[in-house]
Amino acid sequence: MENFITEEMCQNCARCCRDFPFVEVSALEITKLEKYTGLTLLQFTNPKGKEAADGYFLQSLENGNCLFLGEKDGHASCTVYEVRPDICKAYPINEKHQAYCESVQNK
């Protein structure tokens, strides 16, 4: 599916950063996030499985928000935008996400 949501269309709702608990990160993305944030792998990821080789997900807060979601003056923003994972860059990744973004944009 082609991504049709542009920066101009985004309404800053941060739906893509809320209740999306399985944001997979690659080894390269982890390295970039470690350098950018100064955090270690275990401070911002959860293992996907029992084996480290199974990969990692970004941690979510108790409220379901991405660990790196920031909010200021009612506006949401990614605190690691410059090095955010590819899955975040590609959002919306399916028709359901696309429809949600379009419905928010058309309000």
pLDDT in tens, the chain (107 residues): 444 445 555 666 777 788 777 888 999 999 999 999 999 999 999 877 655 556 888 998 998 889 998 887 777 888 998 999 998 888 777 787 777 777 766 65
Torsion of CA 13, 14, 19, 25, to 10 degrees: 160
Alpha carbons 96 and 68: distance in angstroms, whole number: 23
Q: Please give the pLDDT value at position 37.
A: 96
Which pLDDT score, from 0 to 100, does residue 5 have?
47
**pLDDT score recorded for residue 3:** 45
**pLDDT at position 49:** 63
Q: How far apart are CA 49 and CA 104, in angstroms?
A: 35
Q: Provide the pLDDT for residue 30.
A: 94
Q: Tokens at residue 44, please?
A: 């911002």
Structure tokens of 49?
A: 């499985």
pTM of model > 0.95: no
The H-or-E segment that residue 24 falls in is strand 24-25
